[in-house]
Amino acid sequence: MAGDYLDHLQAAAEKALASLRRHAVPPTALNYSVWFTHHAGQSPALSRAIRELEERGEPLDEVRHLELAERFLGRAAQLERLQELVGKADGTLDAVAGELGGFRAHTAAYGATLEGAATTLEEGGRLDGISRLVAELRAATLAMRARADSLERELGRRDAELAALRVDLAKAEEAMSSDPLTGIGNRRLFDRALKKLAREAVEQGAPLALLLVDIDHFKRFNDTYGHPVGDLVLKLVAAKLAEKAQPPRIAARYGGEEFALLLPATDLAAAKALAERIRTEVADRELVLKSDGRRLGTVTLSIGVARFRPGEPLDAFLARADQALYRAKAGGRNRVECEGG
């Protein structure tokens, strides 16, 4: 049943945190995923490996956690598990906080009632037996309040641990969605953004345009000057696209020396004008090596431009942009072409 499954996941979450504390490793997304997967019984092979390491008394440090994650967990699966856990933990903590609030309110009201009863009895100076009973109940109330305080501290500790997990999750998501060399979005981010922006374009009845950008003769930079210069060229183009990609625009490295720029609320004419500005600004800048002052010439771009047609498959949208890019390269490079030629 759903309730039993949620209880199982919550128990696995608590055991995972306890295991991290026991082995004195930080609760990063990777480390947490290893233990949560183990305690949730989601990877028998991982659990077997952990048991063998523990039986041999080998230290389960951060390096070992990385090895286990690389061996038994995929990065995407890691994030999916962690996202599910954080969502469920959020709900659990909210429920606990609500119950704790109700518990404290109940004990406060109960305590107030007893205080009033005690005062009335003490003023009357009679019924010693009942007064003693009230005193005992008052002590019980104080104990209840102490328990509530303890629960509140525990909730605070759990909330802090969850906050750390959220931060680590955000870092992991960012790492999985960005290109490590240029710092802009990667293909994974592009694919997700394309689906989202296409859906919004249909819902809002707004245009959506796409630029596909290719660095002309990129191989020549690598072959002539070496890969460090090639990397510099990639970073230069990425920085120019990032400059033009203020939210909600999305810039991404599409693959190799190709880049993409998604332009919501932008029609074809405006997208073409932006593409021309990008092409011109990049071509007007001469590359000079800071180390020795060598002049490496200029970087030129070929750019294909297309607009999204509501209801069409996204592959068709991409294909039109790619065909326009092909025409730009076939037409001599260092130029912009729109869909339909």
Q: What are phi and psi of 272, to 5 degrees?
A: -65, -40
Residues 209 and 151 in one domain: no
Residue 182 lies in a domain: no
CATH of the domain at 191: 3.30.70.270
Q: What are phi and psi of 78, to 5 degrees?
A: -55, -50
Chain mean pLDDT for the chain = 79
Q: Where are the beta strands (DSSP E) in 10-125?
A: none
Cβ neighbours around 1 below 10 Å, total = 6
List pLDDT tens digits, range 241-252. Answer: 999 999 999 999
Domain end: 151, 177, 203, which one? 177
Confidence grade of residue 259 (pLDDT, cut at 50, 70, 90): very high
Q: What are phi and psi of 59, to 5 degrees?
A: -70, 135
What tokens appear for 276 in the block?
């021309």
Domain end: 177, 212, 233, which one? 177
Element spanning 337, H or E: strand 336-338
Selecting among 257, 258, 337, 339, the annotated active-site residue is 257
Which structural domain, as residue segments, surrounds residue 135? 1-177
More confident residue, 5 or 188: 188
> Cβ distance 19 to 35 under 8 Å?
yes
Residue 1: per-residue pLDDT:
41
What tokens appear for 308 in the block?
């999204």
Known catalytic residue: 257? yes
CA dihedral for 174, 179, 184, 186, sign (positive or negative): negative
Residue 229: per-residue pLDDT:
87
Confidence grade of residue 264 (pLDDT, cut at 50, 70, 90): very high
Nearest-5° Cα angle at 218, 216 to 221: 125
What is the total count of domains within the chain? 2
Nearest-5° Cα angle at 99, 96 to 100: 85
List pLDDT tens digits, range 83-135. Answer: 555 555 555 555 555 555 655 565 565 566 556 555 655 555 455 555 665 56
